[in-house]
Chains A and B, each alone.
Chain A
Amino acid sequence: MPRFSDVILPGLGVTGLVLTGALAFSTAGRDRAEFEASEAALNAVRAELDAAEARIAELNLATVTAEELEDAMERLAAFEARLAARPEGVDEAEPDPAPVVSVMLAGNAETGETLFRECRACHQVGAGAKNGVGPHLNLLFGRAAASVPDFRYSDSLKRAAANGLEWHADTLSQYIEDPRTFASGTRMSYAGMKDAQDRADLLAYLRTFSDDPSNIPEADPTAQGTDHEVDPEILALKGDPEYGEYLSSECTTCHQASGGDDGIPSIVLWPEESFVMAMHAYKDQVRPNQVMQMIAGRLSNDEIAALAAYFADLEK
């Protein structure tokens, strides 16, 4: 499946997330024809995205990406609308195969620094930054909304904070795109930054004044690349054991290839189906272990099948 997360501009600075258009639909309970129609529509969009992606790869990305992506987003929006118009009676209880399309723009921190001029009258950032008309923006990523000491926030932002609003790439992007829509009573009198690439650049610049994950591993991500590709016939997938062997090296950091277990269970010589089911239980966050949820969460179904095929036969 084409992924816009592959569209990362070469030669640019910090990566920032701008748009994550995730659209999902459930196929359970629908009749076959309808499902096939949706499939066809999805395939058409896939082909379009493929073409766009190929073109982007061909061209000098720095100059065309914003347009290309806007274009792609329009088509995605149209597709979303078509899906929204689907007939009632879809079984929501079964969160079945959901194609997820995630669109990400890389931000250029240098361009962002120039864009920050629009903000500088009210916001300071960097060494010695203090509150002004607006709060300072150091350590912004990952902090709770309305939480800078000694700054008087609007009730609107305080309410949002009480409801758990935190500033991350996605919430910040939404906020600066259209502040009044995001928080109607905000005192930030700024019309909004409509261009997705501009927001990516600005956020890439601001990101450099927050904790770096290499120093504080729990700090906010700088990439947004997970896309879980899902196939309706998970269990029927035939795994590629050679790919599985490569992927397994991630497992053997903790799980012993010899099958030994102390503190961490053995995973060798399981029936493939049990392996696949267990991995999906982590992926869907049904099983609780955080490490396994994280690892399984970014494995595609093909990758899980590949691992299952590899471990099922592992003799040492």
Chain B
Amino acid sequence: MKLNRRSFIGSVAAASALAAPMVQAAGHGKPRVVVVGGGAGGATAARYIAKDSKGEIDVTLIEPTRKYYTCFFSNLYLGGFKNIEDIGHGYGTLASDYGVNVVHDWAVGVDRDAKTVALAGGSSVPYDKLILSPGIDFVDGAVPGWDISAQNAMPHAYKAGSQSELLRAQLMAMPEGGTYVMVAPPNPFRCPPGPYERISMVAHYLKANNPTAKIIIADPKPKFSKQALFEEGWNNHYGGMVERIGPDFGGENVEVDPGAMTVNIDGEVIEADVCNVIPAMKAGRIAELAGVTDGNWAPVNAADLSTKADPDIHVLGDAAQQGDMPKSGFSANSQAKVCANAVRGALTGSRVFPAKFANTCWSLIDTNDGVKVGATYEATPEKIAKVDGFISQTGESAEVRKKTYEESEGWYTGITADMFG
């Protein structure tokens, strides 16, 4: 799909953009990088470009929220291992210590000819290189009966923050012996082990507080990441509490009724006390508005994460279709650093080093029972390709599992410092 059309979408935004003061056009003075989305990919990219260019590049970060709640460890919050404040991070240090111009607003359009980004507030920001890391949005109609207006009755909690708090409150309010239903997403989606770590954390909470409760997963996928490890863990820790209905038994044929709080799985209607619907995903909408998507995702070149559609627009993280890397915070952070190095090189002539990527996803199954899966990746002409990897083994000792969990705590501190300074 080629979209070279100007993408100033939405007449309100376009009209107010005209009235707003225009920042000086690109091509004068310092090179300008605009980053849209201050999450795992965007915050990292903004910080590295600002830090490493030592003032040679103007970096603007556009992010609507004042505080970013990490999806990573949001399951641990559900399980009671973290407080909500533990997973919230502000942008103050990026502005004060790194000189990033942090603009709390939505990007609503990209004019690829004029090289400007339109903001919901009406202004327009010019760029020489644009980096989009907007995360995910949900595919309309993916789960019949569910849309974004139903997210209060049936939360997804797949963007962290108020949704996580809502789901936790619903979990705590479940009647004795009640039923928690998860509608799991189809591939590809952010954080392949995420739904199953969440099931573990929900079971952990219920075992202590509501031990006769039941958990049902309706799953459209025949297999999922770390399956043997999770199933072993559920068996050992939460025997009999978790039931997974895979596609062989109609797990992909699901309809919900948020008004009645019912879930219809292949003709069988279940009354849910909590219904966690995680619909199919696509790139955050701004990627589509910029005209760099093909289908649900934005195809990118492996060496620098530039889009196939426009060499001056890069897409990182969940929104990118890059090849073998799973959609994770670790991956987004890893891609951001490769992209930052390439963008800086292109704008200031600094040294560009070969792309190297890595990912590790830790999951917590129960107290001190951590597991992990990881791999390294390289850039090939076609895609980011997996080179090598490892996974925790079933039957590992409690000591190993505890170490793995402690490692994940260390990683969390490390990556959030790497993103926000």
User: Which residues on A are within 8 Å of B, measured CB to CB?
Assistant: 8-15, 106, 211-226, 242-243, 245-247, 249-250, 252-258, 260-264, 290-291, 293-295, 297-298
Contacts of A256 in B (CB 8 A): 413-414, 417
B187 interfacial contact with A, CB 8 Å:
yes
CB distance from A80 to the nearest CB of B (A): 24
Residue of B nearest to A10 (CB): B381
- Is B198 close to A, CB under 8 A? no
In the assembled complex, which residues on chain B have CB atoms less than 8 Å from the CB atom of A214? 188, 323-327
Q: Chain B contacts of A260 at CB under 8 A?
A: 413, 417
CA distance A241 to B135 in the complex (A): 33
- B238 sits at the interface (CB 8 A): no
B293 to chain A: closest CB distance in Å? 17
Q: Are B324 and A293 in touch, CB under 8 angstroms?
A: no
How extensive is the interface on chain B, given as a class? Answer: 35 or more
Stretch at the interface among B143-151, B246-254, B356-364: B356-364
Can you give 20 contacting A-B residue pairs, CB < 8 Å?
A8-B380, A8-B381, A13-B382, A15-B385, A106-B382, A213-B375, A214-B188, A217-B391, A218-B225, A221-B385, A222-B386, A246-B353, A256-B413, A257-B417, A258-B417, A262-B413, A263-B408, A294-B374, A294-B375, A298-B376
User: Which of B23-31, B281-289, B329-337 is the contact stretch?
Assistant: B329-337
A249 to B392, CA, bound (A): 25
One of A213, A215, A252 near B418 (C-beta < 8 A): A252
Residues of A within 8 A of B409 (CB): 262-263
Asked if B225 and A216 make an inter-chain contact with CB atoms under 8 angstroms apart, the answer reads: yes
Q: Are A242 and B351 in contact (CB under 8 A)?
A: yes
Nearest CB of B to A291, in Å:
5
Q: Is the CB of A294 within 8 A of B358?
A: yes
Q: Do B374 and A217 have beta carbons less than 8 Å apart?
A: yes
The chain A residue sitting closest to B350, CB to CB, is A242
B169: interface (CB < 8 Å)? no
Q: How far is the CB of B75 from chain A (nearest CB, A)?
A: 17
Chain B contacts of A8 at CB under 8 A? 380-382
Shortest Cβ distance from residue A152 to the other chain B in the assembled complex, whole angstroms: 24
Q: Which residue of B lies closest to A263 (CB)?
A: B410
Q: Is B80 an interface residue (CB 8 A)?
A: no
Q: Give, as a whole number of angstroms, the nearest-CB distance from A218 to chain B.
A: 4
Mark contacts of B214-240 with chain A using CB atoms, 8 A cut-off: 1 yes-contact digit, 0 otherwise. 000000000111100000000000000
A218's partner among B378, B385, B391 (CB-CB below 8 A) is B391
Tally of A-B Cβ pairs under 8 angstroms: 169
A69 to B147, CA, bound (A): 55
**List of A residues within 8 angstroms of B360 by Cβ:** 291
Smallest CB separation, A107 vs chain B (Å): 11
| Interchain nearest-CB distance for B271 vs A (Å) | 32
A193 to chain B, nearest CB (A): 23
A250 near B417 with CB under 8 A, answer no
Q: How far is the CB of B195 from chain A (nearest CB, A)?
A: 13
Contact B353 A243 (CB under 8 A): yes
Pair B356/A217 contact, Cβ less than 8 Å: no
For the complex, what is the distance from the CA of A301 to the CA of B374, rounded to whole Å?
22
CB–CB A249/B48 < 8 A = yes
A291 touching B324, Cβ below 8 Å: no
Q: How far is the CA of A245 from the CA of B391 in the complex (A)?
A: 29
In the complex, which residues 374-421 of chain B have their Cβ closer than 8 Å to any Cβ of chain A? 374-378, 380-383, 385-392, 406-411, 413-415, 417-418
- The verdict on B373 contacting chain A, using a C-beta distance below 8 Å, is yes
B372 within 8 A of A: yes
Say whether B192 faces chain A, with CB atoms less than 8 Å apart: yes
Q: Which A residues touch B380, using CB under 8 A?
A: 8, 15, 106, 223, 225
Nearest CB in chain A: distance from B371 CB, A: 11
Q: Does B306 contact A (CB under 8 A)?
A: no
Residue contact A225 to B417, C-beta cutoff 8 Å: no
Determine the residue in chain B with the shortest Cβ distance to A295. B358
- In the assembled complex, how far is the CB of residue B326 from the closest CB belonging to chain A, in whole angstroms? 5
Do B407 and A291 have beta carbons less than 8 Å apart?
yes
The reply to whether A224 and B387 contact each other, CB–CB distance below 8 Å, is yes
Known pairs A247-B356, A263-B411, A298-B376. 17 more at Cβ < 8 A?
A: A106-B380, A212-B324, A213-B324, A215-B187, A216-B224, A217-B373, A218-B225, A225-B385, A246-B341, A246-B353, A249-B341, A252-B414, A253-B415, A256-B413, A294-B376, A297-B388, A298-B387
B324 engages A263 (CB within 8 Å): no
Please give, as numbers and ranges, the residues of chain B lying within 8 Å of A294 by CB-CB distance: 358, 374-376, 388-390
Residues on B with beta carbons closer than 8 Å to the beta carbon of A213: 324-326, 375, 386, 389
A250 touches B326 (CB 8 A): no
Q: Within the assembled complex, what's the spacing in Å between the Cα atoms of A30 and B375?
A: 38
Q: How far is the CB of A151 from chain B (nearest CB, A)?
A: 19
B413 contacts A263, C-beta separation under 8 Å: yes
Among residues of B, the one whose C-beta sits closest to the C-beta of A261 is: B410
**B224 contacts which chain A residues (CB < 8 A)?**
216
CA distance A252 to B421 in the complex (A): 11
